[in-house]
Amino acid sequence: MDNKSVKKRILQLRKEINFHNKLYYEESRNIISDYEYDIKIQELIKLENLYPELKSSSSPSIKVGGKITKDFKTFMHVAPMLSLSNTYSNQDLDDFDKRVKKNLNIDKVEYLCELKYDGVALSINYENGLFKRALTRGDGTKGDDISNNAITIKTLPIKLSESVNLEVRGEAFISKKNFKILNDQKKINNEELFSNPRNTASGSLKMQDSTIVSERRINCYLYSLVSGNENVVNQEESLNYLKNLGFNVPTTFRKCKNIIEVKEYVDYWENKREDLDVETDGIVIKVNNLEYQKILGNTSKSPRWAIAYKYKSESKKTKVLDIKFQVGRTGAITPVAILDPVELGGSIVKRASLHNSNEIERLDVRINDSVYIEKGGEIIPKVTKVITSERILDTGKFKFIDICPACNNKLKTSKDQAIHYCPNYKNCPPQVSGRIEHFISKNAMNIEFLGPETVKGLINNGLIKDVSDLYLLKYEDIIDLKFNIEGEDKVRSLKNKSCKNILGSIEKSKENEFSNVLFGLGIRYVGKTTAKKLAENFKSIDTIISASYDEIIEVDEIGDKIAESLIKYFKDSENLLIIEKLKSSGLNFTQEENIKLKSDKLKNKIFVISGKFKNYSREQIQKEIEENGGKVSKSLSSKTSYLLAGENMGPKKKIKAKELNIILLDLKNFFELI
């Protein structure tokens, strides 16, 4: 390579690496594997060493020390880190208030309102008054141990004023003032700016080098005491207690006698929050009394005793330059508006989702239109309104495509006509590679040395057709495998170390729990939480495969859409074959039982649970039965000992239980039993 092309290559690599760093550190996302990232870094370091005159202090090879390891130890949370359900109107607040009162069977309830800080949730553990560990939210059940970074937060005490054992939660964030200081420094250094405070805080806390983290001026507000002081009786006391221990608790919270006062608080902060130094995106309304919180309990996603009121988000005007179509792993076609880049809520927006053909129809959006875009709390913004008065040419309505942009197959539409999808499930390239990319992704099988580009290389070389083929790959198959990197002309090939890393991470993925495998299969509508629920309830893939529609929808929060999708998926013999192949490769298709027995009061007793229960989810009841030595079965038979009947239990079940002489219990009887 001559000097000129080396320089060009170095600049290109720096640009690419900076782009991936930005995605990773600021948006906690990666679109290439660690391996593909490392190749780029190594090539850059090699070239900079060969041509020292081209070295630069702002090169990403220097900034990240040539290596980013993304390994953090993970730990289980003492209690799941849930999210809050969102509301946007006074009517929603009234509905929440009614629900709470109805569930508690009281007509007056006191709330504690707090601001909703827009940062990163942390769960922090103290032992004998000393900081022990800080975890990120992770998947809600287990999080990354980012203790080394958390201790750089000056407002997070290392030693409390009392020698207590605690689990507390709060929000780490970068204040508006500090964010400006960070970006002013970036400007001086002629470096690319951070996009917004939240992403910068979240990216920073996931860095390996805590000296850099300490320069990011992160702060932390505490908002909940998960365990540690049985004497506090309400949220207000918890906050005061946390403050007295030395935590940073803002003084903006307010106790409200009723929902009218809550609305006043919401109105008060709507504009006033702009004056605060912390970014806020709403209000959190919590039932103040902790005993009431306990009674109300949680759904699998969020507490029933709290709700978030989100303020309407900022909107900006821009122009639609083009409308493109993406094919997802399920074949669904998503139209995307390519925008004239515009700054919105602290970041530059270049694309907006148009969801589906109904949405295009509803908005009547066309290429060259001026539009308003809004961030609805999501990373990808949406087009909310077309400014038709600014349309110059009448080009006619935008026509949705009817041919797949990837494989030219004729598209089909869903029953309600809203979703267009490519029916070429087996052979449409983005669907095939998308399914495999989903399978290897962090939340599924976490096969970290494989990235989208190597996956495409494996498919193009005929080495894999579906996820089961990954486990049959051998070193001889993949050494020298040719693959392309997006935006590069040069063809790359896999070398010894990478092959070993890839095969090692595939092998390691066999240790994943059943719910990860189930999620990884990519069954439509089966997200991570649903996969966990299914695994917990059915315990094995075979029981899910043989479950009837009725048995599936019996599971809490699993509705007909998911049930239909599961049945359809398992009807397809090719899917069953993939599962069989994965089974013979040694993947987990059963849920390990990990029950600590409290008693054997229910030994040899088989329960069937039916209907819904106030304050308890079906999983909680199942756990209670199993911890007392009992078993839970899905359907009634002569072996069933008890039918635990909740609200809305089907009449057929009742009749059958009578026929089989099975004892009917309500929740009260059940608790008496144990």
By CB under 6 A, name the binding residues for ligand IVH: 82-84, 114, 116-117, 121, 171, 223-224, 284, 302-303, 306, 308
Q: Which amino acid is at 667?
A: L
In the bound state with ligand IVH, the residue whose beta carbon lies nearer, of 301 and 426, is: 301
Nearest to 281 by CA among 114, 61, 456, 43: 114
Give min distance, CB of 443 to ligand IVH, in A: 17
How far apart, in whole angstroms, are the C-alpha atoms of residue 52 and residue 658? 85
In the bound state with ligand IVH, the residue whose beta carbon lies nearer, of 308 and 503, is: 308
Radius of gyration for the chain, computed over Cα atoms and rounded to the nearest angstrom:
27
In the bound state with ligand IVH, the residue whose beta carbon lies nearer, of 82 and 182, is: 82
Using an 8 Å Cβ cutoff, are 354 and 336 in contact?
yes
Which residue is associated with the tokens 């308890």? 616
In the bound state with ligand IVH, the residue whose beta carbon lies nearer, of 56 and 83, is: 83
Residue 140 exposed, middle or buried by CB count within 10 Å (0-12, 13-18, 19+)? middle
Give min distance, CB of 218 to ligand IVH, in A: 14
- Phi, psi at residue 652, to the nearest 5°? -60, -40
Q: Which amino acid is at 397?
A: K
CA 411 to chain centre: 30
Give min distance, CB of 378 to ligand IVH, in A: 13
When CB distances to ligand IVH are compared, the closest residue is 121
Strands (E), 56-141: 74-76, 86-87, 111-117, 120-127, 130-136
Among 40, 116, 263, 532, the active-site one is 116
In the bound state with ligand IVH, the residue whose beta carbon lies nearer, of 234 and 433, is: 234
In the bound state with ligand IVH, the residue whose beta carbon lies nearer, of 223 and 670, is: 223
Could you confirm whether 116 is annotated as catalytic? Answer: yes
To 5 degrees, how large is the angle CA 355–CA 412–CA 548? 90
Give min distance, CB of 117 to ligand IVH, in A: 4
User: Can you tell me whether residue 103 is helix, strand or coil?
Assistant: helix
Give min distance, CB of 75 to ligand IVH, in A: 17
Give min distance, CB of 441 to ligand IVH, in A: 22
How far apart, in whole angstroms, are the C-alpha atoms of residue 409 and residue 429? 12
- Phi, psi at residue 453, to the nearest 5°? -75, -40
Q: Say which residues have a Cβ less than 8 Å from residue 103's Cβ, sequence separation at least 6.
A: 295, 296, 304, 614, 615
Which residue is associated with the tokens 């609805």? 376
How far apart, in whole angstroms, are the C-alpha atoms of residue 445 and residue 470? 12
Cβ burial 356-390 (10 Å sphere, 16+ → b, else e): bbeebeebebbeebbbebbbeeeeebbbeebeeee
Q: Which amino acid is at 290?
A: L
In the bound state with ligand IVH, the residue whose beta carbon lies nearer, of 223 and 439, is: 223
Q: Please, which residues bridge with residue 167 across strands?
A: 125, 227
In the bound state with ligand IVH, the residue whose beta carbon lies nearer, of 111 and 117, is: 117
Give min distance, CB of 121 to ligand IVH, in A: 3
> What does the block give as tokens for 214?
């300490």
Ordered alpha helix ranges (H), 228-280:
235-245, 259-272
Give min distance, CB of 483 to ligand IVH, in A: 38
Residues acting as catalytic residues: 116
